[in-house]
């Protein structure tokens, strides 16, 4: 496993049994895990009036299914807690944050899959609160009998965004649809299951077996191309490439999901999707990595249009919501944090799945703090 880096971004190489992997992760990322816990303590209380002990209690509702279905991942999380000197319930809460608060903390991002004549790309900007930037790590995992994994993640979280040595990759978009299914597989665990798979189809079958515990979108791909999975607690809808071999997604539902209301937690999501489509349409049928990379450098731009006030409680379809943005607001694929919006692009990743290789840019992609080549 090779990861090229000359910067302070923490890269953790874990190898061995689930306990050995977890201990290495927890010990080396202990400070970042503790900072992440403190961050989410404040955010959960501020936005949903949930004290941390209540969040941990809710997370423990998933413990029985972890014990029954994914005992090796439970063992890994227990070891992370031991290594970081925190409680197991706190590591559960980090990994199940999307479910314990019914999808309110799904990640913001812009993702793209593109099957060209020559290769299969999977790429995204991962946007989240700027306060968590210092707690981003690159996690490399080498477990016997499984593909090797390289991913960008938050310290303490065992499944995020990346690829494996078999050329299987996953990207993710947060979508806020109210509801949680405690029989479904937590979203971050689904992403880890994808990264433990030998093929795209094997990965999708693992997710479909139990469904997801909360809403979200995942792009799952390999050398044969990618499929989008729009997930709610009511089921999974597949999104297939368009005539140019592309799937483009941001943070709202694109398919019809009967009985599920998307309240568009990020009001700029349709605007970013429109912008990504506009830029992608300027490329030919067979773009290279450099051209894909340019799409994700798109800075915020002035919409400068008069709009009506929007009430998020109104059941308005996302296409109509695309026009519902504040006058002269700045929106772009390459997010920058501001006084009223603390979300920023914290990393960008572009995966070449047939080569099982990725370019990982830590920070905003137009001027990254660090660039790593991931080859699990």
Rounded mean pLDDT, 355-372: 97
229 contacts 220 by C-beta, under 8 angstroms: yes
Give the pLDDT score at 341: 73
Q: What is the mean pLDDT of residues 167-185?
A: 91
pLDDT score at 263: 59
CA torsion sign, 245 to 336 to 7 to 96?
Answer: negative
What residue ranges define each of the domains in the chain, with the CATH number in brackets?
10-16+102-295+330-369 (3.60.60.10)
Which pLDDT band, with edges at 50, 70 and 90, does 16 fall under? very high
pLDDT of residue 11: 98
Q: Which tokens belong to 118?
A: 């020559």
Residue indicated by tokens 């840019």: 361
Residue 48 in this model has a pLDDT that exceeds 60 = yes
Q: What is the mean pLDDT of residues 17-46?
A: 95
Q: Which helix (H) or strand (E) holds 218?
A: strand 216-222
Q: If you average pLDDT over residues 151-177, what whole number do you get?
A: 95
Looking at the predicted structure, is the pLDDT value of residue 318 above 90?
A: no
Q: Which of 12-16, 99-103, 332-336 has the lowest mean pLDDT?
A: 99-103
Report pLDDT digits (tens) over 244-293: 999 999 988 888 877 665 656 667 788 889 999 999 999 988 999 999 99
Q: What confidence score (pLDDT) does residue 54 get?
A: 93
Average pLDDT, the chain: 87
User: Distance (Å, rounded) from C-alpha 83 to C-alpha 80?
Assistant: 5
Contact 196, 220 (CB under 8 A): no
- Span 80-89, mean pLDDT? 98
Query: What contacts 287, CB < 8 A, 6 or more positions away?
Result: 114, 116, 121
- At residue 363, does pLDDT exceed 90? yes
What's the pLDDT score for residue 105?
57
CA dist., res. 109 & res. 95, Å (int): 18
End-to-end CA distance of the chain: 5
Share of the chain above pLDDT 90, in %: 70
**Which two tokens mark 329?**
């607001």
């Amino acid at each position: 496993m090779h990861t090229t880096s000359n910067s302070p971004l923490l890269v953790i190489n874990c190898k061995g049994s689930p306990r050995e992997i977890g201990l290495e992760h927890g010990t080396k990322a202990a400070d970042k895990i503790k900072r992440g816990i403190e961050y989410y303590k404040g955010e959960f209380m501020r936005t949903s009036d949930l004290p941390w002990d209540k969040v941990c209690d809710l997370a423990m509702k998933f413990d029985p299914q972890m014990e029954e279905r994914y005992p090796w991942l439970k063992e890994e999380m227990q070891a992370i807690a031991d290594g970081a000197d925190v409680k197991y319930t706190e590591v559960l809460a980090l990994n199940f944050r999307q479910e314990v608060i019914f999808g309110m903390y799904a990640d913001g991002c812009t993702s793209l899959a593109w099957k060209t004549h020559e290769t299969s790309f999977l790429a995204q900007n991962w946007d989240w609160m700027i306060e968590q930037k210092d707690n981003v790590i690159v996690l490399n995992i080498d477990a016997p009998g499984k593909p090797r994994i390289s991913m960008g993640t938050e310290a303490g979280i065992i499944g995020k965004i990346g690829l494996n040595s078999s050329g299987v990759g996953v990207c993710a978009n947060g979508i806020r649809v109210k509801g949680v299914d405690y029989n479904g597989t937590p979203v971050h665990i689904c992403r880890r299951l994808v990264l433990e798979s030998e093929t795209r189809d094997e990965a999708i079958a693992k997710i479909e077996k139990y469904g997801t515990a909360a809403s979200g979108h995942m792009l799952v791909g390999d050398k044969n191309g990618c499929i989008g999975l729009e997930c709610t607690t009511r089921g999974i809808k597949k999104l297939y490439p368009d005539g140019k071999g592309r799937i483009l997604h941001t943070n709202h539902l694109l398919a019809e999901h009967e009985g599920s209301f998307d309240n568009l937690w990020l009001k700029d999501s349709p605007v970013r999707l429109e912008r990504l489509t506009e830029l992608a349409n300027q490329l030919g049928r067979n773009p290279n990595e450099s051209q894909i990379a340019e799409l994700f450098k798109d800075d915020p731009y002035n919409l400068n249009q008069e709009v009506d006030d929007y009430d998020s409680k109104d059941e308005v379809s996302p296409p109509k919501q695309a026009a519902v943005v504040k006058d002269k607001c700045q929106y772009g694929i390459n997010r920058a944090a501001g006084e009223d919006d603390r979300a920023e692009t914290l990393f960008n990743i572009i995966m070449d799945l047939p080569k099982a290789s990725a370019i990982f840019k830590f920070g905003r992609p137009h001027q990254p703090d660090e660039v790593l080549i991931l080859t699990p």
